[in-house]
Structure 1
């Protein structure tokens, strides 16, 4: 199922955390969930050019805290914090509580799957070849130190009459390994021929390597003992050796056989048939 499930949802609770962290009563759960959706939709539309791959929301009884991960924090904060004040006021109208907005910078956008997917989608909207966009994104990501990347685009590629799916990948993408830090992103490109879906998987290495190494040190592998060198025990053992009473190899196999049987070497050669005694009847 590693090819079908969302890599982030598969690893929640193991190496990844929820994007929304709050508790509420059952009758208030639906309204709170819709409120989170509206906040994310507003921030994604208003801050799309800033590159916002992730929005985290924390709630308690008194306040709502919003963490905006972005590649260009200057566009979110604005001059003197003017832009972030507008964002805070708009979010307070949606949630109805005091809001604290925190901006988290994404230092390596080429290693973020969501930003890579949005970049490829924007290039497709500008009529850039999908192969060129995919290969360029793969090259930049691998140069930044990723261990693997996989990109999939699906739709009417190049204006074709029949929609199809194209895949490009480089490195390794262990989707079944839970401890593998795999980032996943999806975005849609709105072209004149229709929508083109872009999916990106980026493998950044294993997260639980320290605990794995500690487990190995605590429980070393049971390896069989190495075999001792038995050449010392076979000194003087001439089994299989042609030296000894059998003579040298120069005599050939006929001489060796004769030596084994004890027959004289100069005897008459044997024939395949022996004459019958008494003659013919």
Structure 2
């Protein structure tokens, strides 16, 4: 029986950084932890295409949020005209958790390059195809032949589990391309686990993505 280790948690402090940056006293730790989790789950449920959310606190009632997304237009509009509205929406989410609390929220929405990607973007692309009732083999072919051809990476592995194509018995299928050194701590490997809701039930999607090394001097 194998021992499974989370690819990102395995590399924290070496090649991966924490998504929350703050220090809290014992009586405040659970409050901040629940607040971060509520904020991430609510935003990722309302908006598709969010790669990750970084949260940092320097002092009490001061919150800095960085949202990485493939399409910034969905969050702030084509020219950023909805940025203030989106910032107020975040304050309302936090207000439900901590009432009668005035805080300063500094928001950054960052886009990504067309030649780079993450495990989250790949999973969202695959989920969109599967939820449109496209067979999983065809969805994988579209992903590898169209989406991944435009990206720079060293290796990728994708696993789909559940009632594939409406089969009576659930099974697991996976596809891999390139190198994927899961035991190398310095390897920049991104990982995500998501779900696709189809008419046959829920399909589990897991993506391991090995980023290409950054060119020297960039």
The two structures have a TM-score, normalised by structure 1, of: 0.68
Equivalent residue, structure 2, for 1:149: 156
SS of alignment partner, residue 113 of structure 2: coil
Aligned residues: 207
After superposing the two structures, state which structure 1 stretch, 74-83 or 60-69, moved more.
74-83
Q: State whether structure 2 residue 21 is matched by structure 1 residue 14.
A: no
- Kindly state the Cα deviation for residue 114 of structure 1 after the two structures are TM-superposed: 0.7
Superposed CA offset, 1:96-129 (max 9, x none): 4210110111113762111111111121111001
Q: State whether structure 2 residue 106 is matched by structure 1 residue 108.
A: no
User: Which structure carries more relative contact order (alpha carbon 8 Å, separation 6+)?
Assistant: 2
Q: How far apart, in 2, do the equivalents of 1:22 and 1:46 lie? A: 25
Higher fraction of strand: 2
- Kindly state the Cα deviation for residue 26 of structure 1 after the two structures are TM-superposed: 1.1
RMSD: 2.3
Verify the 8 A CA contact 2:115 2:152 in the aligned structure 1. Answer: no
Q: How far apart, in 2, do the equivalents of 1:132 and 1:108 lie? A: 23
Equivalent residue, structure 1, for 2:129: 123
* Structure 1 unaligned blocks of 5 or more: 211-281
Q: State whether structure 2 residue 27 is matched by structure 1 residue 23.
A: no
Verify the 8 A CA contact 2:73 2:80 in the aligned structure 1. Answer: no
Q: How far apart, in 1, do the equivalents of 2:213 and 2:52 lie? A: 21
Larger radius of gyration: 1
Q: State whether structure 2 residue 76 is matched by structure 1 residue 60.
A: no
- Kindly state the Cα deviation for residue 75 of structure 1 after the two structures are TM-superposed: 2.4
Equivalent residue, structure 1, for 2:98: none
Verify the 8 A CA contact 1:142 1:148 in the aligned structure 2. Answer: no
The two structures have a TM-score, normalised by structure 2, of: 0.86
Equivalent residue, structure 2, for 1:188: 195
Verify the 8 A CA contact 2:51 2:121 in the aligned structure 1. Answer: yes
